[in-house]
Amino acid sequence: MNKIPILDLKKQIAPIRQELDSAIRRVIDNTNFILGEEVADFENEVQKYCNIKYAVGVSSGTDAIKLALLALGIKCGDKVICPAFTYYATAGAIASMGAIPVFADIEPETYNISVESIEKVLKKDSRRKIKAIVPVHLYGQCADMDNILKIARIYHLKVVEDTAQAFGAEYKGKKAGTMGDCGAVSFFPGKNLGAFGDAGMALTNSKITADRLRVLRNQGNKDKYYHLVLGYNNRMGAIQAAVLKVKLKYLNSWNEMRQKNARYFNQRLKGLNIKTPFVREYTTHIYHQYVLRLNSSSRKLIEHLRSKGIDARVYYPVPLHLQKCFKYLNYRKGDFPESEKAAAQTLAIPVYPDLTRQELDCIINSIGEFLQ
Protein backbone atom coordinates (compact mmCIF):
# COMPACT_ATOMS: atom_id res chain seq x y z
CA MET A 1 0.00 0.00 0.00
CA ASN A 2 1.41 3.38 -1.02
CA LYS A 3 1.72 6.02 1.66
CA ILE A 4 0.88 8.80 -0.80
CA PRO A 5 -1.24 7.54 -3.70
CA ILE A 6 -1.43 9.36 -7.03
CA LEU A 7 -5.08 10.15 -6.17
CA ASP A 8 -7.19 9.56 -3.07
CA LEU A 9 -10.89 9.60 -3.95
CA LYS A 10 -11.93 8.48 -0.48
CA LYS A 11 -10.71 11.82 0.85
CA GLN A 12 -12.63 13.68 -1.85
CA ILE A 13 -15.86 11.77 -1.26
CA ALA A 14 -15.97 11.72 2.57
CA PRO A 15 -16.99 15.36 3.17
CA ILE A 16 -19.77 15.26 0.54
CA ARG A 17 -20.88 11.68 1.17
CA GLN A 18 -24.39 12.57 2.37
CA GLU A 19 -25.11 14.73 -0.65
CA LEU A 20 -23.88 11.97 -2.96
CA ASP A 21 -25.87 9.28 -1.16
CA SER A 22 -29.10 11.26 -1.43
CA ALA A 23 -28.48 12.03 -5.14
CA ILE A 24 -27.99 8.32 -5.84
CA ARG A 25 -31.01 7.41 -3.71
CA ARG A 26 -33.12 9.86 -5.74
CA VAL A 27 -32.29 7.94 -8.94
CA ILE A 28 -32.95 4.56 -7.31
CA ASP A 29 -36.31 5.86 -6.07
CA ASN A 30 -37.43 7.15 -9.46
CA THR A 31 -35.86 4.20 -11.40
CA ASN A 32 -35.14 6.38 -14.42
CA PHE A 33 -31.63 5.02 -14.87
CA ILE A 34 -30.63 6.13 -18.38
CA LEU A 35 -30.69 9.74 -19.69
CA GLY A 36 -33.94 11.39 -18.47
CA GLU A 37 -34.21 14.39 -16.17
CA GLU A 38 -31.00 13.75 -14.21
CA VAL A 39 -28.87 13.81 -17.35
CA ALA A 40 -30.76 16.80 -18.80
CA ASP A 41 -30.23 18.70 -15.51
CA PHE A 42 -26.53 17.96 -15.49
CA GLU A 43 -26.24 18.92 -19.17
CA ASN A 44 -27.84 22.27 -18.25
CA GLU A 45 -25.38 22.80 -15.41
CA VAL A 46 -22.44 22.08 -17.73
CA GLN A 47 -23.85 24.47 -20.35
CA LYS A 48 -23.89 27.23 -17.72
CA TYR A 49 -20.49 26.31 -16.29
CA CYS A 50 -18.83 26.28 -19.72
CA ASN A 51 -20.91 29.04 -21.28
CA ILE A 52 -21.74 26.77 -24.21
CA LYS A 53 -25.07 26.28 -25.98
CA TYR A 54 -25.26 22.49 -25.99
CA ALA A 55 -23.84 19.77 -23.75
CA VAL A 56 -24.69 16.16 -24.61
CA GLY A 57 -24.11 13.52 -21.94
CA VAL A 58 -22.53 10.32 -23.22
CA SER A 59 -21.03 7.10 -21.93
CA SER A 60 -17.32 8.11 -21.81
CA GLY A 61 -14.74 10.59 -23.01
CA THR A 62 -13.64 8.16 -25.71
CA ASP A 63 -17.21 7.96 -26.99
CA ALA A 64 -17.51 11.75 -26.86
CA ILE A 65 -14.54 12.04 -29.27
CA LYS A 66 -15.91 9.32 -31.56
CA LEU A 67 -19.47 10.75 -31.64
CA ALA A 68 -18.16 14.30 -32.13
CA LEU A 69 -16.17 13.23 -35.20
CA LEU A 70 -19.17 11.36 -36.60
CA ALA A 71 -21.54 14.27 -35.89
CA LEU A 72 -19.15 16.60 -37.72
CA GLY A 73 -19.26 14.40 -40.80
CA ILE A 74 -15.91 12.63 -40.50
CA LYS A 75 -16.13 9.36 -42.39
CA CYS A 76 -14.42 6.02 -42.65
CA GLY A 77 -11.06 6.49 -44.42
CA ASP A 78 -10.77 10.20 -43.55
CA LYS A 79 -7.57 11.22 -41.80
CA VAL A 80 -7.56 12.98 -38.44
CA ILE A 81 -4.54 14.67 -36.86
CA CYS A 82 -3.83 14.15 -33.17
CA PRO A 83 -0.72 14.33 -30.98
CA ALA A 84 1.60 11.33 -30.73
CA PHE A 85 1.93 11.98 -26.99
CA THR A 86 -1.44 11.52 -25.30
CA TYR A 87 -3.58 8.78 -23.82
CA TYR A 88 -4.42 5.95 -26.22
CA ALA A 89 -8.12 6.92 -26.35
CA THR A 90 -7.51 10.09 -28.39
CA ALA A 91 -6.28 8.06 -31.37
CA GLY A 92 -8.30 4.97 -30.37
CA ALA A 93 -11.53 6.94 -30.77
CA ILE A 94 -10.44 8.15 -34.22
CA ALA A 95 -9.54 4.64 -35.34
CA SER A 96 -12.66 3.07 -33.81
CA MET A 97 -14.92 4.98 -36.22
CA GLY A 98 -12.84 3.92 -39.21
CA ALA A 99 -10.86 7.13 -39.59
CA ILE A 100 -7.06 7.14 -39.75
CA PRO A 101 -5.03 8.79 -36.99
CA VAL A 102 -2.24 11.02 -38.32
CA PHE A 103 0.20 11.91 -35.60
CA ALA A 104 1.89 15.25 -34.96
CA ASP A 105 4.65 16.01 -32.46
CA ILE A 106 4.31 18.06 -29.27
CA GLU A 107 5.81 21.23 -27.85
CA PRO A 108 8.55 20.18 -25.43
CA GLU A 109 7.54 22.82 -22.87
CA THR A 110 3.81 22.11 -22.48
CA TYR A 111 3.52 18.58 -23.97
CA ASN A 112 0.61 19.85 -26.08
CA ILE A 113 0.39 19.38 -29.85
CA SER A 114 2.83 21.58 -31.79
CA VAL A 115 1.30 23.92 -34.36
CA GLU A 116 4.50 23.73 -36.38
CA SER A 117 4.23 19.95 -36.49
CA ILE A 118 0.55 20.14 -37.55
CA GLU A 119 1.56 22.41 -40.46
CA LYS A 120 4.29 19.99 -41.50
CA VAL A 121 1.83 17.10 -41.53
CA LEU A 122 -0.71 19.09 -43.55
CA LYS A 123 1.87 20.11 -46.14
CA LYS A 124 2.77 16.44 -46.65
CA ASP A 125 -0.87 15.42 -47.20
CA SER A 126 -1.05 16.04 -50.92
CA ARG A 127 -4.27 14.03 -51.36
CA ARG A 128 -6.17 16.29 -48.98
CA LYS A 129 -7.57 13.42 -46.98
CA ILE A 130 -7.05 15.12 -43.62
CA LYS A 131 -10.44 16.30 -42.42
CA ALA A 132 -10.06 17.10 -38.72
CA ILE A 133 -7.70 17.84 -35.83
CA VAL A 134 -8.10 16.55 -32.29
CA PRO A 135 -5.85 18.71 -30.10
CA VAL A 136 -5.51 17.46 -26.53
CA HIS A 137 -5.37 19.81 -23.54
CA LEU A 138 -2.89 17.52 -21.88
CA TYR A 139 -2.49 17.34 -18.10
CA GLY A 140 -4.93 20.25 -17.66
CA GLN A 141 -3.62 23.18 -19.71
CA CYS A 142 -5.03 24.28 -23.06
CA ALA A 143 -3.28 23.75 -26.37
CA ASP A 144 -2.51 26.74 -28.64
CA MET A 145 -6.14 27.07 -29.76
CA ASP A 146 -6.00 30.36 -31.72
CA ASN A 147 -3.31 29.02 -34.01
CA ILE A 148 -4.92 25.58 -34.26
CA LEU A 149 -8.25 27.18 -35.23
CA LYS A 150 -6.46 29.42 -37.75
CA ILE A 151 -4.89 26.41 -39.47
CA ALA A 152 -8.22 24.58 -39.34
CA ARG A 153 -9.90 27.46 -41.16
CA ILE A 154 -7.20 27.53 -43.87
CA TYR A 155 -7.36 23.76 -44.49
CA HIS A 156 -11.13 23.40 -43.88
CA LEU A 157 -10.67 21.03 -40.96
CA LYS A 158 -13.08 20.27 -38.15
CA VAL A 159 -11.68 20.64 -34.63
CA VAL A 160 -12.62 18.36 -31.73
CA GLU A 161 -10.91 19.42 -28.49
CA ASP A 162 -9.96 16.44 -26.35
CA THR A 163 -10.83 18.02 -23.01
CA ALA A 164 -10.64 14.76 -21.06
CA GLN A 165 -7.98 16.17 -18.72
CA ALA A 166 -8.87 19.86 -18.71
CA PHE A 167 -12.52 20.33 -17.77
CA GLY A 168 -12.60 23.74 -16.08
CA ALA A 169 -9.32 25.06 -17.54
CA GLU A 170 -9.55 28.34 -19.46
CA TYR A 171 -7.96 29.64 -22.63
CA LYS A 172 -8.08 33.47 -22.77
CA GLY A 173 -11.15 33.35 -20.53
CA LYS A 174 -12.94 30.65 -22.53
CA LYS A 175 -13.53 27.23 -21.07
CA ALA A 176 -11.54 24.34 -22.55
CA GLY A 177 -13.73 22.37 -24.94
CA THR A 178 -15.78 25.35 -26.12
CA MET A 179 -13.57 26.75 -28.89
CA GLY A 180 -13.51 24.06 -31.56
CA ASP A 181 -16.49 22.60 -33.43
CA CYS A 182 -16.89 20.20 -30.52
CA GLY A 183 -15.32 19.54 -27.15
CA ALA A 184 -15.06 16.04 -25.70
CA VAL A 185 -14.99 15.70 -21.91
CA SER A 186 -14.22 12.63 -19.81
CA PHE A 187 -15.71 12.09 -16.37
CA PHE A 188 -13.67 8.93 -15.71
CA PRO A 189 -13.53 8.60 -11.89
CA GLY A 190 -9.91 9.77 -11.69
CA LYS A 191 -10.51 13.01 -13.61
CA ASN A 192 -10.72 16.35 -11.75
CA LEU A 193 -14.50 15.98 -12.10
CA GLY A 194 -15.05 12.25 -11.88
CA ALA A 195 -18.19 10.10 -11.95
CA PHE A 196 -18.71 6.79 -10.13
CA GLY A 197 -18.14 4.89 -13.37
CA ASP A 198 -17.58 5.81 -17.01
CA ALA A 199 -19.20 8.98 -18.32
CA GLY A 200 -18.42 11.78 -20.76
CA MET A 201 -19.87 14.77 -22.55
CA ALA A 202 -19.74 16.42 -25.94
CA LEU A 203 -19.89 20.24 -26.05
CA THR A 204 -20.87 22.37 -29.03
CA ASN A 205 -22.41 25.69 -30.00
CA SER A 206 -24.04 24.21 -33.10
CA LYS A 207 -27.65 23.04 -32.89
CA ILE A 208 -27.21 20.76 -35.89
CA THR A 209 -24.19 19.07 -34.30
CA ALA A 210 -25.96 18.74 -30.93
CA ASP A 211 -29.02 17.17 -32.59
CA ARG A 212 -26.78 14.68 -34.41
CA LEU A 213 -24.94 13.87 -31.19
CA ARG A 214 -28.22 13.13 -29.40
CA VAL A 215 -29.33 10.78 -32.17
CA LEU A 216 -25.93 9.08 -32.44
CA ARG A 217 -25.61 8.44 -28.69
CA ASN A 218 -29.02 6.78 -28.57
CA GLN A 219 -29.02 3.97 -31.17
CA GLY A 220 -29.70 6.39 -34.02
CA ASN A 221 -33.17 7.12 -32.59
CA LYS A 222 -34.87 10.43 -32.55
CA ASP A 223 -38.22 8.91 -31.72
CA LYS A 224 -38.09 5.51 -30.04
CA TYR A 225 -37.89 2.60 -32.52
CA TYR A 226 -37.48 4.95 -35.52
CA HIS A 227 -33.77 4.81 -36.36
CA LEU A 228 -32.53 7.63 -38.56
CA VAL A 229 -28.87 6.66 -38.72
CA LEU A 230 -26.60 3.87 -37.54
CA GLY A 231 -26.14 4.98 -33.97
CA TYR A 232 -24.61 3.57 -30.79
CA ASN A 233 -25.49 2.74 -27.24
CA ASN A 234 -23.46 5.65 -25.85
CA ARG A 235 -25.94 7.19 -23.41
CA MET A 236 -25.06 8.68 -20.03
CA GLY A 237 -26.46 6.92 -16.97
CA ALA A 238 -28.61 8.89 -14.54
CA ILE A 239 -26.61 7.87 -11.44
CA GLN A 240 -23.45 9.28 -13.06
CA ALA A 241 -25.26 12.54 -13.89
CA ALA A 242 -26.64 12.83 -10.33
CA VAL A 243 -23.16 12.28 -8.83
CA LEU A 244 -21.53 14.69 -11.27
CA LYS A 245 -24.10 17.40 -10.55
CA VAL A 246 -23.20 17.26 -6.86
CA LYS A 247 -19.47 17.27 -7.56
CA LEU A 248 -19.57 20.09 -10.16
CA LYS A 249 -20.33 22.56 -7.35
CA TYR A 250 -16.95 21.76 -5.83
CA LEU A 251 -14.87 21.56 -9.00
CA ASN A 252 -13.53 25.13 -8.96
CA SER A 253 -12.41 24.87 -5.35
CA TRP A 254 -10.80 21.47 -6.01
CA ASN A 255 -8.98 22.88 -9.05
CA GLU A 256 -7.81 25.85 -6.97
CA MET A 257 -6.40 23.48 -4.36
CA ARG A 258 -4.52 21.61 -7.08
CA GLN A 259 -3.15 24.97 -8.31
CA LYS A 260 -2.09 25.87 -4.78
CA ASN A 261 -0.27 22.54 -4.42
CA ALA A 262 1.39 23.11 -7.80
CA ARG A 263 2.57 26.58 -6.74
CA TYR A 264 4.06 25.09 -3.59
CA PHE A 265 5.89 22.42 -5.59
CA ASN A 266 7.13 25.03 -8.10
CA GLN A 267 8.47 27.22 -5.35
CA ARG A 268 10.12 24.45 -3.34
CA LEU A 269 11.62 22.62 -6.33
CA LYS A 270 13.12 25.81 -7.78
CA GLY A 271 16.89 25.62 -8.07
CA LEU A 272 16.94 21.83 -8.27
CA ASN A 273 17.97 20.08 -11.46
CA ILE A 274 14.39 19.29 -12.48
CA LYS A 275 11.88 21.09 -14.71
CA THR A 276 8.56 22.08 -13.17
CA PRO A 277 5.49 22.53 -15.42
CA PHE A 278 5.57 25.45 -17.86
CA VAL A 279 2.25 27.23 -18.27
CA ARG A 280 1.63 29.38 -21.35
CA GLU A 281 0.25 32.89 -20.74
CA TYR A 282 -2.96 32.19 -22.67
CA THR A 283 -4.15 29.30 -20.51
CA THR A 284 -4.86 28.35 -16.94
CA HIS A 285 -3.65 24.95 -15.74
CA ILE A 286 -5.90 22.80 -13.58
CA TYR A 287 -3.18 20.23 -12.90
CA HIS A 288 -4.98 17.03 -13.66
CA GLN A 289 -1.38 15.89 -13.55
CA TYR A 290 1.63 17.76 -12.17
CA VAL A 291 4.41 16.62 -14.48
CA LEU A 292 8.12 17.04 -13.81
CA ARG A 293 10.93 16.54 -16.28
CA LEU A 294 14.55 15.46 -15.98
CA ASN A 295 17.35 15.78 -18.55
CA SER A 296 17.60 12.01 -18.60
CA SER A 297 15.31 9.06 -17.90
CA SER A 298 12.76 9.60 -15.15
CA ARG A 299 12.52 5.91 -14.22
CA LYS A 300 15.12 5.88 -11.42
CA LEU A 301 13.46 8.85 -9.73
CA ILE A 302 10.11 7.08 -9.97
CA GLU A 303 11.64 4.00 -8.35
CA HIS A 304 13.13 6.15 -5.61
CA LEU A 305 9.80 7.88 -4.89
CA ARG A 306 8.00 4.55 -4.83
CA SER A 307 10.52 3.20 -2.35
CA LYS A 308 9.45 6.12 -0.14
CA GLY A 309 5.78 5.21 -0.53
CA ILE A 310 5.03 7.94 -3.09
CA ASP A 311 3.07 6.82 -6.13
CA ALA A 312 4.82 8.61 -9.02
CA ARG A 313 3.93 7.57 -12.58
CA VAL A 314 4.63 8.23 -16.26
CA TYR A 315 1.78 9.51 -18.38
CA TYR A 316 2.61 8.08 -20.97
CA PRO A 317 5.60 5.72 -21.25
CA VAL A 318 5.17 4.83 -24.94
CA PRO A 319 4.08 7.46 -27.49
CA LEU A 320 1.24 6.40 -29.73
CA HIS A 321 3.24 6.11 -32.97
CA LEU A 322 5.31 3.38 -31.29
CA GLN A 323 2.38 1.42 -29.84
CA LYS A 324 1.85 -2.06 -31.24
CA CYS A 325 -1.81 -1.39 -32.02
CA PHE A 326 -0.84 1.45 -34.39
CA LYS A 327 1.88 -0.50 -36.18
CA TYR A 328 -0.30 -0.55 -39.29
CA LEU A 329 0.18 3.21 -39.60
CA ASN A 330 3.87 2.58 -40.40
CA TYR A 331 5.51 5.11 -38.12
CA ARG A 332 9.05 4.60 -36.84
CA LYS A 333 11.14 5.43 -33.84
CA GLY A 334 12.52 8.93 -34.37
CA ASP A 335 9.44 10.22 -36.21
CA PHE A 336 8.31 12.37 -33.26
CA PRO A 337 11.40 13.13 -31.18
CA GLU A 338 9.72 15.46 -28.67
CA SER A 339 7.03 12.88 -27.91
CA GLU A 340 9.66 10.18 -27.47
CA LYS A 341 11.76 12.39 -25.17
CA ALA A 342 8.74 13.35 -23.09
CA ALA A 343 7.78 9.70 -22.68
CA ALA A 344 11.28 8.95 -21.38
CA GLN A 345 12.00 11.98 -19.21
CA THR A 346 8.75 12.90 -17.45
CA LEU A 347 6.98 11.79 -14.29
CA ALA A 348 3.76 12.81 -12.58
CA ILE A 349 3.63 13.20 -8.81
CA PRO A 350 0.51 13.33 -6.62
CA VAL A 351 -1.13 16.80 -6.73
CA TYR A 352 -4.71 16.03 -5.71
CA PRO A 353 -6.55 18.64 -3.61
CA ASP A 354 -6.54 16.82 -0.27
CA LEU A 355 -2.77 16.42 0.08
CA THR A 356 -1.55 17.75 3.41
CA ARG A 357 1.40 20.11 3.77
CA GLN A 358 3.27 17.22 5.39
CA GLU A 359 2.63 15.01 2.36
CA LEU A 360 3.70 17.76 -0.05
CA ASP A 361 6.91 18.23 1.95
CA CYS A 362 7.53 14.50 1.98
CA ILE A 363 7.28 14.42 -1.85
CA ILE A 364 9.54 17.47 -2.23
CA ASN A 365 12.14 16.18 0.22
CA SER A 366 12.22 12.78 -1.47
CA ILE A 367 12.83 14.40 -4.86
CA GLY A 368 15.55 16.62 -3.37
CA GLU A 369 17.19 13.62 -1.75
CA PHE A 370 17.36 11.80 -5.11
CA LEU A 371 18.68 14.77 -7.04
CA GLN A 372 21.47 15.37 -4.56
> Residue 164, interface with ligand PLP (CB under 6 A)?
yes
Give Cα 234 to chain centroid, integer Å.
18
Q: Closer CB to ligand PLP, residue 106 or residue 136?
A: 136
How far apart, in whole angstroms, are the C-alpha atoms of residue 181 and residue 161? Answer: 8
> Residue 162, interface with ligand PLP (CB under 6 A)?
yes
Find the shortest distance in angstroms from Cβ 328 to ligand PLP: 21
How far apart, in whole angstroms, are the C-alpha atoms of residue 144 and residue 242? Answer: 33
Q: Which of 110, 165, 298, 346 touches ligand PLP (CB under 6 A)?
A: 165
Q: Are 298 and 291 in contact (CB under 8 A)?
A: no
Find the shortest distance in angstroms from Cβ 83 to ligand PLP: 9
Q: Closer CB to ligand PLP, residue 62 or residue 283?
A: 62
Q: What angle do CA 290, 101, 134 make, to 5 degrees?
A: 50
> Residue 186, interface with ligand PLP (CB under 6 A)?
yes
> Residue 62, interface with ligand PLP (CB under 6 A)?
yes
How many binding residues for ligand PLP (CB under 6 A)? Answer: 15
Query: What is the number of other CB atoms lying within 10 angstroms of the CB of residue 310?
Result: 21
**263 CB-near residues (< 8 Å, 6+ apart):** none
For residue 181, which of 154, 198, 156 has the smallest C-alpha distance? 156
Find the shortest distance in angstroms from Cβ 25 to ligand PLP: 25
Q: Are 12 and 255 in contact (CB under 8 A)?
A: no
Facing residues of 200 across strands?
Answer: 58, 186
Find the shortest distance in angstroms from Cβ 316 to ligand PLP: 9
Q: Closer CB to ligand PLP, residue 77 or residue 190?
A: 190
Question: What string marks each residue from 71 to 110 as x (binds ligand PLP by CB under 6 A) or -?
Answer: ---------------xx-xx--------------------
For residue 68, which of 145, 134, 112 has the smallest C-alpha distance? 134
Q: Closer CB to ligand PLP, residue 71 or residue 274?
A: 71
> Residue 200, interface with ligand PLP (CB under 6 A)?
yes
Task: Output the furthest CA–CA distance in the chain (Å, rounded).
Answer: 67
Q: Which of 111, 188, 316, 370 touches ligand PLP (CB under 6 A)?
A: 188
